[in-house]
Chains A and B, each alone.
Chain A
Amino acid sequence: MYPKTPLDAVRFPLILLNQPFSHQQKHLDVLWEQSSLQAVTDGANNSLYELMKAENTTRFVPDLVTGDFDSIREEVKSFMEEKGSKIIHTPDQDKTDFRKCLEIVADQVKNEKVDFVVAFGAFGGRLDHVLSNINTLFEAPSIIKYPLYLIGDYNISFLLMPGHHTIDISSGLEGSTCGLFPLGGKCEGITTTGLKWNLNQDQMEFGGLISSCNTYEKDATEVTVENNSPILWTMDIAK
């Protein structure tokens, strides 16, 4: 069951990725406040530093600063370290900063219980970064046993592995659009309930049927999806 409980009743680490988030300040504020651990990759630290300088606070000093450090400014890295962040250099060029950060977070939480992981700043900006973030959703199950949610630019996306899923949509924070995408390849069978345009044992593939610009059935409080290959679920957050 995807999160139905209020944020303060769940425990989640937050990863901050390097996409512009200036117009989503309120989402950053809420997620940062409620997270149990904050890990910020490379250049995203520069943005947090500017925010803190402007407000004259230290409220966005993360627990962990990670990455290959080709974007983070020296004075930002020093500042974060002085204020208590643990600096972890991950130079391996065969993996993305996000993937390496997720591996570090997985290790940090291995002896505690968390409910899920959130990666914020996952959308907007460079298309290859966005698609690479999505690819990390596919890789995540082999890295960490908890669900991984990508949030950014008023989108939330997560991967539905083969099986049956129930997505709560009664929080009041949902926007009106949602979609299902077979990014891993053809999905031979998918069935949904709770959508305006439901699927019924349909096949999905790019160039064939995909479900974009879908919306919720009137009065629906949940969406169910039954799929036999990985499908990306995406929904927007109300403005």
Chain B
Amino acid sequence: MRFVPDLLTGDFDSAKPEVLQFMKEKGAKLVETLDQNFTDFTKCLQIVHRTIEHNKLHVDCLVALGAFGGRFDHIMSIINTLFDITKTVKYPVYLIGDDNIACLLRPGNYAIEVDTGLEEGWCSLIPIGGKCKHITTTGLKYNLENQGMQFGALISTSNYLKDDAKEVTVTTDSPVLWAMGIKRLKLKEK
């Protein structure tokens, strides 16, 4: 019963009734979110954020698992949620799935730790929201030096962490998506 969640949210057009019943019995709080103007992910994030604020929980970051693979429009919609919550959620939100991890870097300076040993090696910076006028990086094989990025012109994909880099720094004046590969973990034999 180790995968019974605290919260079960959504418009419930996919969850089977017997599954909802089981989860409820085992202690999950069901929160139906019917508003068709927002995606299930956005609504779930809003609920989680409200729960954190209400209970004054200390949180370092939020992780959304299962963000990649499958329908492309879902991936776009999930990335759009990161833009949507910019004003309300101040802690980082990481998207993980299919050996990818990604987060949205709003305008500013960032230092990304990359020597945990779990990094696959590839990484990328993508101007999803539109033209990025100036971006500068360190720690990458192909660094950017106060360059612009835009779909149709330069986007930084199939980049790599420099061999001995402990961190990657990014300074950007527009929102960019940072995405990198993570190694598959081998489950330890019992």
Smallest CB separation, A81 vs chain B (Å): 26
Across the interface, which residues of B come within 8 angstroms of A126, CB to CB? 99-100, 122, 181
Stretch binding the partner chain, chosen from B57-65, B79-87, B109-117, B163-171: B79-87
B65 to chain A, nearest CB (A): 14
Counting contact residues on chain B (CB < 8 A from A), the size range is 35 or more
CB distance A207 to B129 under 8 Å? yes
Residues of B within 8 A of A178 (CB): 73
CB contacts (< 8 Å) of B128 on chain A: these are 131, 183, 206
- Write the B34-51 contact mask toward A (1 if CB under 8 angstroms, else 0): 000001000000000000
In whole angstroms, what is the CA distance A6 to B30 when docked?
A: 47
B72 touches A213 (CB 8 A): no
Contact call B152/A135, Cβ cutoff below 8 A: yes
Q: Identify the closest chain A residue to B67 (Cβ).
A: A127
- Measured between alpha carbons, how far is A152 from B128 in the docked complex, in Å? 21
Asked if A230 is at the interface (CB within 8 A of a chain B CB), the reply is yes
Minimum Cβ distance to chain A for residue B184 (Å): 13
What does the 1/0 interface line of A105-124 toward B look like (CB < 8 Å)?
00000000000000000011
Interface membership of chain A positions 63-100, coded 1 if the CB is closer than 8 angstroms to chain B and 0 otherwise: 00000000000000000000000000000000010000
**Are the CB atoms of A181 and B130 closer together than 8 Å?**
no
Which B residues are closer than 8 A to A by beta carbons?
A: 39, 68-77, 79-80, 83-84, 86, 98-100, 102, 122-124, 126, 128-131, 150-152, 155, 157-159, 175, 179, 181
Whether the Cβ atoms of A234 and B72 lie closer than 8 Å is yes
- Which residue in B69, B151, B157 is a CB contact (below 8 Å) of A128? B157
Q: B139: shortest Cβ distance to chain A, in Å? A: 16
**Complex: A155 Cα to B72 Cα, angstroms:** 7
Question: Complex: how many Å from CA A199 to CA B39?
Answer: 18
A149 to chain B, nearest CB (A): 13
Q: Are A132 and B69 in contact (CB under 8 A)?
A: no
Q: What residue in chain A is nearest B123 (Cβ atoms)? A: A128
Interface residues of A (CB under 8 A from B): 96, 123-132, 134-135, 138-139, 153-155, 157, 177-179, 181-186, 205-207, 210, 212-213, 230, 234, 236
Q: A124-B69, A212-B73, A213-B77 are in contact. Are A132 and B129 (CB under 8 A)?
A: no
Write out the residue numbers on chain B whose beta carbons fall within 8 Å of the beta carbon of A185.
129-131, 150-151
On chain A, the residues within 8 Å of B175 by CB distance are: 206-207
Supply 27 A–B pairs (Cβ within 8 Å), ascending by A: A96-B158, A123-B72, A125-B98, A126-B99, A126-B100, A127-B100, A127-B102, A131-B128, A131-B155, A134-B151, A135-B155, A138-B152, A155-B71, A157-B72, A179-B76, A181-B73, A184-B130, A185-B131, A185-B151, A206-B83, A206-B175, A207-B83, A212-B39, A212-B76, A212-B77, A234-B72, A236-B71
